[in-house]
Amino acid sequence: MIRVGIVGLGLIGGSLAKAYKESGRAEVFAYDRDEGTMLLAETVQAIDGVLDDTVVQACDLLLIALYPDAAVEYLREHAAQISKDTLVIDCCGVKRVVCDACFEIAAQHGFVFIGGHPMAGTQFSGFGKSRASLFKGASMILVPPVYDDIQLLDKAKRLLEPIGFGRTVVTTADKHDEMIAYTSQMPHILSNAFIKSPAAEQHKGFSAGSYKDLTRVAWLNENMWTELFMHNREKLIREIDIYVHALEKYKQAMEQQDSHMLWELLKEGRIRKEEVDGGR
């Protein structure tokens, strides 16, 4: 039985708590600044108790499921209470700003911090939308302070194993943010921008799966995503520039009534999809 502390009981933190509890292999203690959320988590038995400074000292694993700035602030304020035997992992959607600060804080206080990013979520937020199965089969990205510390990575995988991740990806903070700008942040921006067309008001009866897929994540938490986008703005701007440049080619082909050019662009995109995702 391991003892897990979770800071923040939103969609991610709440799902982590429920996954550990459902596994039957962990005691779960949590803290959320919202008293109603804490009461609900205790009522549905998603946690065993409150994560206070005394409990923090006895945790095998401390998961920080807050926005990036708040995660760094929490670790800085509570670093003195964290044992050298406790492994600390954050769950933020950007890694450079978090890891740059938290690696230093951990080194100063003698415990180990690993940057983390569980790759699962929904367009909804809050503890009420959390579920134990959210991470089943998903990837867990880890950014360790030392890339080839096999013993540390084995420890992290063992402590995270009850959650049910399907894959662990070890990378650097910079590489993480580069890839996440494309795989996660760009889709949210595209969806959020796409829904602003005047035609959206009249879509019912004219829309099917492609509309639903493309607009799903337009329903986002603007507080969280603003912070994530701004922390990763250089890499995200690069992806936006690439996309705008590609769109201009499609627009040019239609303006010039160049069917062959449009055909080539569409074929190029189809082939690229097959290359990166193995076809249908």
Q: Is the pLDDT of residue 167 over 80?
A: yes
Of the candidates 90, 31, 102, which has an alpha carbon nearest to the alpha carbon of residue 61?
A: 90
Please compute the mean of the pLDDT values over residues 83-111 and round it to a whole number.
Answer: 97
**176-277 classified as CATH 3.40.50.2300:** no
pLDDT at position 128, please? 86
> Can you give the residue ranges of every domain in the chain?
2-171, 176-277
pLDDT band at 34 (very low <50, low <70, confident <90, very high): very high
Sheet of 167-170, strand order: 49-50, 26-31, 2-7, 61-64, 87-90, 112-119, 139-143, 167-170
Of the candidates 91, 128, 101, which has an alpha carbon nearest to the alpha carbon of residue 14?
A: 128
Q: Cα–Cα distance between 213 and 119 in angstroms, integer?
A: 18
Question: Tokens 């951990």, residue?
Answer: 106
Angstrom distances, CA of residue 199 to CA of 193, 206, 211: 13, 10, 12
- 234-255 confidence digits (pLDDT tens): 999 999 999 999 999 999 999 9
Please compute the mean of the pLDDT values over residues 133-139 and round it to a whole number.
Answer: 95
Read off the tokens for 193.
């921008």
Considering the chain, what is the average pLDDT of its residues? 95
Q: Cα–Cα distance between 91 and 80 in angstroms, integer?
A: 21
First to last CA, the chain: 43
Q: 222: part of which helix (H) or strand (E)?
A: helix 222-231
With a pLDDT cut of 70, the percent of the chain lying above it is 99
pLDDT at position 147, please? 85
Q: Decide: 111 and 88 in contact? Cβ < 8 Å.
A: yes
pLDDT band at 125 (very low <50, low <70, confident <90, very high): confident
Q: Cα–Cα distance between 6 and 46 in angstroms, integer?
A: 11
Distance of CA 61 to the CA centre of its chain: 18
Least confident range of 5-19, 114-128, 156-170, 222-236: 114-128
Read off the tokens for 82.
């964290």
With a pLDDT cut of 90, the percent of the chain lying above it is 94
Q: Is the pLDDT of residue 121 over 80?
A: no
Say whether 27 sits in a helix, a strand or coil.
strand
> What fold characterizes domain 2-171?
Rossmann fold (3.40.50)
- 177-197 confidence digits (pLDDT tens): 999 999 999 999 999 999 999
pTM: 0.93
Distance of CA 179 to the CA centre of its chain: 12
pLDDT band at 124 (very low <50, low <70, confident <90, very high): confident
Distance of CA 274 to the CA centre of its chain: 26
Q: Is the pLDDT of residue 279 over 70?
A: no
